């Protein structure tokens, strides 16, 4: 090793240690500032900040932003620039607020090969794309813990599809779309002992280096309906694959993944994975990979993974277990994969709007390297390799380097771009956003953020058409930023004006969960298509009841089906008898309303379940197994009308084996139907 | 009849066909929680609204005050009125081609009588729905009736109601106007001109 590289190796480590040591000092300094100025950003705040983010009552925001909820397993939708929370969309986590994952309709959405998994760690939202820019049709998100990719339909803001990713663990560098949404890709962060035959082995943990592998999965996306299908996987060396991004313009055929732990440490990774001076950027020619897969180079191996879909007509999710997957081995697929050495333990890989500059944010690096796509192509043509790993050529760092951004700050994590030739990098350790130019690769401005920023986001900042107006910083630590709420504190979003030479802090607002990343899109691309209700006529739920005259209660053995309707302001039937302890009672409640913003809720005393929240025109199913005899009130939980408090009823539960006949009514008594 | 009168009669007859393309009358409702408004559309042959669900939503809101359900099937008028309009269009066209001004006058009178009867019928329905309230209604305001305005604006509890004729209704007025001009030409204007001519001679 030459002395220069030894120096390079030591420099970032030294800087990092210095930063860690300085952190408490810096923070206590800023704390003093708080008291002096009456606000932590008092000095940084421009005087017109309030008017810049003020959206008058009744007016709409300019952008929708979608922030991942991290360990909440949900997506939060905020309006920008106001920072107002518009909706929380449940994806991988059960949501008692609307019954997602609790009611019979949506339970299959959370099915996996491990069984029902009611939670996940949701990291990265990515909007669907058309013509190389965001189109506002769908939002793709990943579940990191139990590898899954979900699709949210932005007409309804509901999760409509979840695909489990087999042969993977720690599904972190996901779900990155190719430039025109041909594929959404997912990669492994925690390599696992998976064989080329698709077996997850029970091996000694000491065998990490030999047996552990990662995979990169390619989910094909239907152009019209968005349905995902796991087309093929590529088996890759057992590193930790961290983040990804697709190329654009000239680099559209490629997708890039950062990796760390190229040392293949299986324990104490904070040390073991930080030994090599350089880790790798994995460059995948996905067009070629898709061609190889289509040509039959992929071998079909056994697998077992869930593919869950919500059917909009029946409002009923189904879960199908898929039994095989196609897999490509790099050694059989020339020219498909290349590795570029990058400063160790990189996080974000971000491609500028031109598609030429590939920016690597290495959290332990002292510089931000920018690689050149055209130089990479030349290096590939000239076979300018320094070796290979598992048959994957390793390109020479210097040959593909465009420039290094010097002294950017400490702990660069992630970079996005504006439409004026600037890049903005988040600095986790030095807690700041740094603006630098893609023309001369020099730092132009920096602004402190509070505290420890992870990702940042500019609307369209990961596409060829970025906005040049706002940047959202997502901060991990808030400490003294808001009124204290005990040991558990919210994380923060900070909106920064990037329209001028100097960045200006505009707004600071608490967020749900842990937002790892976000997307934003002009409101007019989504708002006009937002559904107001479901059409009752089009409701094909097998237990839908479309008029009150058709409501009924049917008992068949231990199962009781209640065909119920809800309309302002009564439930039909609202008097039910003949239920016995231990019966499986299914309330299929149809909301007969066909008006905007009139959901009805449904809950039963003592039910070991959440509530239902039923949108106009939809049918949802609630399961109740009564454990006691007595009379059990049920009621509408969503304040629907002036007579909402009256929207209630009673179910009588008799002892097991009693002869109370099924009877049901609302208002006037009706005769019970003959038993089937 | 003069050619001008014939054309006027023909246009009068044909303008009635607008009744099949546009509502006769519209009742607009506005309330704080209905910023987008609710519009009931009364056609010659059906009831409708600004959305396909308007009638249902009118009925849901009205049931709190005990108003009877508004249902197209309960109005026999919607079944026979189209035939009256067909007859008026057909007979108007025939009158335009016959050289008999007395027939034009007869047609005008039929149209005016028909239109007036329609308006009266509409008013009576408004009174019936507004006053014939279920005594078991959840919301009862002593002395309050809910007759929607026949023409113009009225506040009904939280709703501001506005009632206006629409293109279909205005088409009847247009037909009356055109036929009346034709009748005026035939019975008064031409007579005067004839008298003037005689005098001049």
Interface contact flag, A568 B60, Cβ < 8 Å: yes
Instruction: Copy the structure tokens of residue A84.
Output: 């107002």
Interface contact flag, B53 A595, Cβ < 8 Å: yes
Shortest Cα distance, chain A CAs vs residue B57, angstroms: 7
What's the half-sphere exposure (Cβ side, CA atoms, 13 Å) at A322?
Answer: 21
Interface contact flag, B60 A596, Cβ < 8 Å: no
pLDDT bin (cut points 50, 70, 90) of residue A24 is: very low
Residue A75 has pLDDT above 50, yes or no: yes
Q: Are A103 and A620 in contact (CB under 8 A)?
A: yes
The Cα–Cα gap between A463 and A469 comes to 15
The pLDDT of residue A669: 61
Residue A423 has pLDDT above 70, yes or no: yes
Residue A40 has pLDDT above 60, yes or no: no
Q: Are A189 and A240 in contact (CB under 8 A)?
A: yes
Instruction: Copy the structure tokens of residue A118.
Output: 């009611």
The pLDDT of residue A1: 41
List the single residue in B with minimal CA-CA distance to A568. B60
The Cα–Cα gap between A236 and A228 comes to 22
- Hey, which residues does A233 pair with through a beta bridge? A217, A327
Q: Tell me the mean pLDDT in the region A597-608.
A: 97
Considering only residues 565 to 594 of chain A, which have any Cβ-Cβ distance to chain B shorter than 8 Å? 567-569, 593-594
**What proportion of chain A, given as a percentage, has pLDDT over 70?**
92
pLDDT bin (cut points 50, 70, 90) of residue A322 is: very high
Mean pLDDT of chain B: 93
The Cα–Cα gap between A388 and A528 comes to 52
Residue A195 has pLDDT above 90, yes or no: no
pLDDT bin (cut points 50, 70, 90) of residue A670 is: low
Shortest Cα distance, chain A CAs vs residue B156, angstroms: 16
What's the half-sphere exposure (Cβ side, CA atoms, 13 Å) at A356?
Answer: 9
Q: Does A14 touch chain B (CB under 8 A)?
A: no
Could you give the residue ranges of the DSSP H alpha helices within B34-76?
A: 54-63
> Model confidence over B24-49: pLDDT tens digits?
999 999 999 898 899 999 999 999 99
Interface contact flag, B60 A643, Cβ < 8 Å: no
Give the DSSP per-residue string, A296-358: T-SEEEEEEEEEEEEETTTTEEEEEEEEEEEEE-GGGSTTSEEEEEEESSEEEEEE-TTS-EE
CB environment A377-393: b (16+ within 10 A), e (fewer): eebbeeebbeeebeebb
* Chain centre distance of CA A136: 15
Residue A21 has pLDDT above 70, yes or no: no
Tokens 């490509």 label which residue?
Answer: A328
Q: Tell me the mean pLDDT in the region A99-127.
A: 98
Mutation target to probe the B interface, by most B beta carbons within 10 A, among A57, A539, A594 is: A594
Query: Quick one: which H or E segment has residue B190?
Result: helix B190-200
> Model confidence over B126-154: pLDDT tens digits?
999 999 999 999 999 888 889 999 999 99
Interface contact flag, B57 A595, Cβ < 8 Å: yes
Q: Are A188 and A195 in contact (CB under 8 A)?
A: no
Which positions in chain A touch B65 (Cβ < 8 Å)? none
Tokens 């097991």 label which residue?
Answer: A656
Considering only residues 106 to 145 of chain B, which have any Cβ-Cβ distance to chain A shorter than 8 Å? 138-139
Interface contact flag, B139 A596, Cβ < 8 Å: no
List the single residue in B with minimal CA-CA distance to A533. B53
The pLDDT of residue A4: 47
Which of A670, A661, A606 has the alpha carbon at shortest distance from A634? A606
Interface contact flag, B138 A643, Cβ < 8 Å: yes
CATH fold, domain B3-200, is Butyryl-CoA Dehydrogenase, subunit A; domain 3 (1.20.140)
Count of CB atoms situated within 10 Å of the CB of A402: 18
For B131-178, the three-class secondary structure string (H helix, E strand, C coil) is: HCCCCCCCCCCCCCCCCCCCCEEEEECCEEEEEEECHHHHHHHHHHHH
> Model confidence over A240-252: pLDDT tens digits?
999 999 999 999 9
Cα dihedral across residues A525, A526, A527, A531: positive or negative = positive
Q: Are B11 and B31 in contact (CB under 8 A)?
A: no
> Model confidence over A476-524: pLDDT tens digits?
999 999 999 999 999 999 999 999 999 999 999 999 999 999 999 999 9
Determine if residue A606 is left, alpha or beta; phi over 0 gives left, psi from -120 to 50 gives alpha, anything else beta.
Answer: left
Mean pLDDT of chain A: 92
**Who wins on pLDDT, A277 or A393?**
A393
For chain A, list the domains and their CATH numbers. Answer: 3-529 (2.130.10.10), 536-665 (2.60.40.420)
Q: Averaging pLDDT over each range in A316-330, A657-671, B28-42, which range is the top one?
A: A316-330
Residue spans per domain, chain B: 3-200
Q: Tell me the mean pLDDT in the region A376-385.
A: 97
Which positions in chain A touch B138 (Cβ < 8 Å)? 569, 642-643, 646
The Cα–Cα gap between A317 and A119 comes to 17
Shortest Cα distance, chain A CAs vs residue B157, angstroms: 13
Considering only residues 50 to 79 of chain B, which have any Cβ-Cβ distance to chain A shorter than 8 Å? 52-53, 56-57, 60, 64
List the single residue in A with minimal CA-CA distance to B36. A596
The Cα–Cα gap between A363 and A349 comes to 12
- B186: which DSSP letter? I
Residue A14 has pLDDT above 70, yes or no: no
Give the DSSP per-residue string, A449-487: -SS-EEEEE-TTTTSSS--SSEEEEEES--GGGSS--SS
Residue A13 has pLDDT above 60, yes or no: no
Mutation target to probe the A interface, by most A beta carbons within 10 A, among B39, B52, B56 is: B56
The Cα–Cα gap between A570 and B199 comes to 81
End-to-end CA distance of chain B: 23
Residue B107 has pLDDT above 90, yes or no: yes
Which positions in chain A touch B60 (Cβ < 8 Å)? 567-568, 593, 595
Interface contact flag, B36 A642, Cβ < 8 Å: no
pLDDT bin (cut points 50, 70, 90) of residue A41 is: very low
Residue A45 has pLDDT above 80, yes or no: no
Which positions in chain A touch B57 (Cβ < 8 Å)? 594-595
Q: Are A322 and A198 in contact (CB under 8 A)?
A: no
Q: Does A62 touch chain B (CB under 8 A)?
A: no
Give the DSSP per-residue string, A355-421: S-EEEEEETT-SSEEEEEHHHHHHHHHTT-EEEEETTEEEE-HHHHEEEEE-S--S-EEEEEE-TTS
Interface contact flag, A596 B36, Cβ < 8 Å: yes
């Amino acid at each position: 090793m030459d002395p220069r590289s030894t120096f390079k190796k030591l420099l970032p480590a030294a800087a990092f240690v210095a930063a860690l040591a300085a952190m408490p000092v810096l923070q206590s300094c800023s704390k003093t500032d708080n008291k002096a100025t009456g606000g932590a950003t008092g000095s940084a705040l421009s005087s017109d900040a309030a008017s810049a983010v003020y959206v008058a009552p009744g007016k709409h925001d300019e952008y929708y932003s979608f922030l991942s909820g991290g360990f909440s397993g949900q997506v939060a939708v905020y309006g920008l620039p106001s920072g107002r929370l518009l909706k929380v969309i449940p994806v991988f986590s059960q949501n008692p607020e609307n019954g997602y994952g609790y009611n019979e309709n949506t339970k299959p959405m959370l099915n996996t090969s491990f069984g029902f998994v009611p939670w996940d760690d949701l990291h990265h939202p990515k909007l669907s794309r058309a013509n190389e820019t965001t189109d506002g049709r769908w939002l793709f998100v990943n579940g990191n813990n139990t590898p899954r990719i979900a699709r949210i339909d932005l007409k309804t803001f509901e999760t409509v599809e979840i695909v489990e990713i087999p042969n993977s663990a720690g599904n972190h560098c996901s779900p990155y779309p190719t430039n025109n949404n041909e594929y959404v890709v997912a990669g492994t962060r925690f390599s696992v002992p998976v064989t080329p035959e698709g077996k997850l082995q029970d091996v000694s943990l000491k065998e990490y280096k030999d047996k552990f592998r990662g995979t990169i999965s390619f989910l094909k996306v239907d152009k019209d309906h968005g349905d995902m299908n796991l087309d093929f996987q590529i088996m890759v060396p057992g590193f930790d694959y961290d983040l990804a991004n697709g190329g654009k313009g000239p680099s559209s055929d490629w997708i890039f993944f950062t990796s760390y732990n190229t040392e293949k440490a299986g324990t104490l990774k904070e040390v073991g994975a930080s030994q090599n001076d350089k880790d790798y950027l994995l460059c995948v020619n996905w067009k070629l990979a898709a061609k190889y897969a289509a040509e039959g180079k992929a071998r079909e191996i056994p697998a077992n993974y869930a593919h869950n879909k919500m059917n909009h007509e029946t409002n009923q999710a189904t879960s199908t277990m898929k039994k095989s997957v196609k897999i490509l081995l790099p050694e059989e697929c020339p020219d498909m994969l290349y590795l570029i050495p990058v400063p160790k333990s990189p996080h974000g890989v971000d491609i500028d709007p031109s598609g030429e500059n590939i920016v690597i944010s290495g959290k332990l690096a002292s510089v931000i390297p920018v690689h050149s796509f055209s130089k990479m192509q030349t290096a590939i043509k000239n076979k300018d390799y320094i070796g290979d790993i598992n048959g994957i050529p390793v390109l020479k760092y210097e040959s593909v380097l465009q420039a290094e951004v010097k002294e950017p700050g400490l702990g660069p994590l992630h970079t996005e771009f504006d439409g004026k030739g600037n890049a903005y990098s988040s600095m986790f350790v030095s807690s700041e956003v740094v603006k630098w130019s893609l023309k001369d690769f020099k730092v132009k401005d920096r602004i402190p953020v509070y505290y420890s920023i992870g990702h940042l986001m500019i609307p369209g900042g990961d596409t060829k058409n970025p906005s040049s107006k706002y940047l959202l910083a997502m901060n991990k630590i808030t400490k003294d930023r808001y009124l204290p709420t005990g040991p558990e504190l919210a994380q923060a979003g900070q909106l920064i004006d990037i329209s001028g030479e100097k960045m200006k802090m505009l707004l600071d607002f608490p967020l749900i969960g842990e937002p790892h990343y976000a997307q934003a899109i002009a409101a007019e691309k989504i708002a006009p298509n937002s559904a107001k209700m479901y059409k009752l006529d089009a409701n094909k739920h097998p237990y839908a009841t479309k008029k009150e005259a058709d409501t009924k209660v049917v008992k068949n053995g231990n199962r009781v089906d209640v065909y119920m309707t809800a309309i302002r302001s009564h439930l039909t039937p609202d008097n039910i008898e003949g239920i016995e302890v231990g019966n499986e009672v299914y309330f299929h409640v149809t909301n007969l309303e066909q008006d905007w913003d009139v959901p009805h809720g449904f809950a039963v005393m003592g039910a070991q379940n959440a509530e239902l929240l039923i949108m106009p025109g939809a049918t949802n199913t609630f399961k109740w197994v009564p454990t006691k005899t007595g009379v059990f009130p049920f009621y509408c939980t969503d304040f629907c009308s002036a007579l909402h408090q009256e929207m209630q009823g009673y179910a009588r539960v008799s002892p097991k084996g009693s002869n109370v006949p099924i009877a049901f009514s609302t208002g006037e008594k009706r005769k019970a139907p003959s038993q089937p | 009849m003069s050619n001008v009168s014939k054309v006027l009669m023909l246009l009068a007859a044909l303008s009635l066909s607008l009744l099949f393309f546009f509502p006769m009358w519209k009742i607009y409702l506005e309330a704080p929680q209905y910023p987008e408004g609710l519009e009931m559309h009364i056609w010659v042959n059906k009831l409708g609204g600004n959305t396909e669900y308007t009638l249902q939503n009118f009925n849901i809101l009205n049931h709190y005050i005990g108003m009877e359900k508004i249902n197209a099937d309960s109005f026999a008028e919607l079944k026979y009125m189209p035939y009256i309009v067909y007859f008026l269009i057909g007979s108007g066209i025939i009158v335009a081609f016959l050289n008999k001004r007395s027939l034009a006058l007869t047609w005008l009178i039929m149209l005016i009588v028909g239109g007036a009867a329609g308006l009266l019928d509409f008013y009576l329905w408004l009174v019936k729905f507004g006053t014939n309230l279920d005594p078991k209604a959840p919301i009862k305001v002593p002395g309050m009736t809910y007759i929607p305005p026949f023409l113009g604006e009225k506040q009904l509890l939280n709703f501001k109601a506005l009632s206006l004729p629409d293109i279909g209704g205005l088409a009847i007025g247009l037909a009356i106007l055109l036929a009346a001009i034709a009748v005026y030409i035939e019975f008064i204007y031409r007579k005067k001109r004839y008298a003037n001519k005689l005098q001049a001679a």
